[in-house]
């Protein structure tokens, strides 16, 4: 067939207002508008408004018109909907869809409130902000940069928890004056951390001590709804410990720090800990894990703070009557804060949640004064990175 023989393609037509169809049906019936008003019970003025295209078709009118002309109410409603949709600018729906996809990728409003990204007016501006935040074009996907891992280490996290990890990395990358990391010094670092844990105010020295041993440390308050406690990862050859400090208790704070430290000590490529510490009916407890690396870090962290054999011996001698004087004597003997011992006894079910709560002192106020911190009224502008 030659080009001249091909049928001419007609331009696509915009859907007609249902009033035009109504006018055609009136002419086919030979009815006036007054007669249709009498048939349907609507006023002549209302019929004229529809015929003129100045009013749409309501569900009630669709049912009456369908009964009058012998078709289906859904046809009238569909004609009206198609016409109304045709009036919309095509770009508006595309803009909504694009924005929705970006909101599925990140907790945009919360990130704007925290100053992690700037407030934007268009999807393009928002995409630019998220591209900077995540450090790569969004078309390439949002993947946490971790060497030697083929799978996404953040899979399974909520958008808020994922954003928290990227913000922690962003802060850690900005740290300076960090010593070169030497794995052979970790034993000394662990000993020093244990010494700090014995005194609440010593938490303020934690960033300095970790930096001395080549470990970056940041604190990021979790976004609403996120149950993340901490993470351990690497920036090139430099390890990072990030914590959320969502539980302001000396026992949970130091357990989380030690847990992430053990991931570094074990040379784990990456760990993100969600619900590591759980607030249950029986109190705040450490979550069991089916992951061998997590269980190992749990056991190592608990043992580093309160040697397991010492704790078991204390339980055997003291249970079930844990007087404050006995706890203090044990704490003094092993050189550890009694609140950390209380936490481990609670976790083992030896103490009720309400017992000896006076020992569970707060430490967040000390750490946020010295650590690079995002949250609790402290924020850093995105332009600083």
210 and 185 housed in the same domain: yes
45 and 78 housed in the same domain: yes
Identify whether 326 is part of a domain.
Answer: no
The residue out of 76, 110, 140 marking a domain boundary is 140
- Which H or E element spans position 351? none
Q: What share of the chain has pLDDT > 90, as a percent? A: 73
110 and 173 housed in the same domain: no
* Structural domain range at position 113: 90-140
182 and 291 housed in the same domain: yes
218 and 236 housed in the same domain: yes
The residue out of 40, 63, 86 marking a domain boundary is 86
Considering only CA atoms, give the Rg of the chain. Answer: 33
Identify whether 315 is part of a domain.
Answer: no
Q: Is 223 in contact with 110 (CB distance < 8 Å)?
A: yes
Q: What is the pLDDT of residues 265-286, one digit of tens each?
A: 999 988 888 878 776 555 556 6
Specify whether the backbone of 307 is left (phi greater than 0), alpha (psi in -120 to 50) or beta: beta
Identify whether 173 is part of a domain.
Answer: yes
The pLDDT of residue 12 is: 47
The pLDDT of residue 381 is: 59
Identify whether 60 is part of a domain.
Answer: yes
The pLDDT of residue 278 is: 74
108 and 80 housed in the same domain: no
78 and 198 housed in the same domain: no
| CATH code, domain with 71 | 1.10.260.40
The pLDDT of residue 291 is: 81
Q: Is 10 in contact with 32 (CB distance < 8 Å)?
A: no
Identify whether 263 is part of a domain.
Answer: yes
The pLDDT of residue 280 is: 59
Tally: H helices and E strands in the chain: 17, 7
**Count of the separate structural domains present in the chain:** 3
171 and 132 housed in the same domain: no
In whole angstroms, give the CA distance from residue 207 to residue 250. Answer: 16
252 and 282 housed in the same domain: yes
Identify whether 337 is part of a domain.
Answer: no
In whole angstroms, give the CA distance from residue 196 to residue 340. Answer: 12
Q: What is the DSSP letter of 146?
A: -
Identify whether 282 is part of a domain.
Answer: yes
The pLDDT of residue 7 is: 40
Identify whether 373 is part of a domain.
Answer: yes
The pLDDT of residue 283 is: 57
119 and 163 housed in the same domain: no
48 and 101 housed in the same domain: no
The pLDDT of residue 9 is: 37
191 and 203 housed in the same domain: yes
> What is the SS3 assignment for 229?
strand
The pLDDT of residue 153 is: 67
Q: CB within 8 A of 164, min separation 6: which ones?
A: 220, 222, 223, 226, 228, 244
Each residue's pLDDT expressed in tens, for the chain with a length of 385 residues: 444 443 443 444 678 899 999 999 999 999 999 999 999 999 999 999 999 999 999 999 999 999 999 999 999 999 999 988 888 777 777 788 899 999 999 999 999 999 999 999 999 999 999 999 999 899 888 888 765 555 566 778 899 999 999 999 999 999 989 999 999 999 999 999 999 999 999 999 999 999 999 999 999 999 998 899 999 999 999 999 999 999 999 999 999 999 999 999 999 988 888 878 776 555 556 665 668 889 999 999 999 999 999 999 999 999 999 999 999 999 999 999 999 999 999 888 898 888 898 999 999 999 999 999 999 988 765 445 5
Candidates 209, 232, 233, 231; CA nearest to 222 is 231
Q: What is the pLDDT of residues 5-55, one digit of tens each?
A: 434 434 446 788 999 999 999 999 999 999 999 999 999 999 999 999 999
The pLDDT of residue 154 is: 75
The residue out of 107, 140, 173 marking a domain boundary is 140
């Amino acid at each position: 067939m030659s080009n001249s023989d091909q049928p001419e393609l007609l331009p696509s037509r915009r859907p007609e207002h249902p009033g035009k169809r109504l006018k055609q049906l009136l002419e086919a019936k030979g009815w006036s508008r007054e007669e249709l008003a009498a048939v349907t019970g609507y006023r002549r003025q209302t019929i004229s408004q529809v015929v003129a295209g100045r009013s749409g078709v309501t569900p009630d009118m669709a049912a009456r018109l369908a009964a009058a002309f012998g078709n289906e109410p859904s046809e009238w409603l569909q004609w009206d909907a198609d016409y109304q949709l045709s009036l919309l600018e095509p770009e508006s729906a595309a803009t909504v869809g694009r924005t929705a996809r970006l909101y599925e990728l990140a907790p945009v409003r919360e990130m704007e409130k925290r100053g992690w990204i700037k407030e934007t007016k268009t999807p393009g501006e928002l995409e630019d902000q998220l591209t900077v935040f995540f450090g790569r074009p969004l078309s390439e996907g949002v993947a946490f940069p971790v060497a030697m891992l083929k799978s996404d280490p953040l899979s399974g996290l909520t958008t808020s928890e994922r954003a928290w990890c990227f913000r922690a990395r962003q802060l850690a990358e900005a740290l300076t004056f960090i010593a070169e990391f030497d794995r052979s010094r970790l034993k000394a670092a662990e000993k020093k951390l244990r010494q700090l844990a014995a005194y609440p105010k010593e938490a303020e020295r934690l960033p300095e001590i970790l930096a001395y041993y080549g470990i970056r440390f940041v604190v990021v308050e979790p976004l609403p709804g996120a149950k993340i406690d901490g993470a351990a990862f690497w920036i090139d050859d430099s390890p990072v410990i990030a914590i959320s400090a969502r539980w302001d208790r000396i026992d949970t704070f130091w357990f989380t720090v030690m847990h992430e430290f053990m991931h570094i000590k074990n040379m784990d490529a990456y760990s993100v800990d969600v619900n590591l510490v759980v607030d249950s009916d029986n109190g705040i407890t450490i979550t069991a894990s089916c992951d061998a690396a997590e269980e190992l870090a749990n056991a190592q962290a608990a043992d580093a703070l309160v040697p397991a054999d010492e704790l078991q011996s204390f339980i055997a001698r003291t249970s079930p009557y844990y007087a404050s004087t006995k706890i203090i004597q044990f704490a003094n003997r092993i050189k550890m804060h009694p609140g950390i011992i209380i936490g481990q006894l609670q976790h083992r079910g030896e103490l009720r949640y309400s017992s000896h709560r006076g020992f569970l002192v707060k430490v967040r106020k000390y750490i946020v004064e010295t650590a690079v911190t995002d949250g609790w009224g402290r924020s850093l502008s995105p332009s600083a990175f």
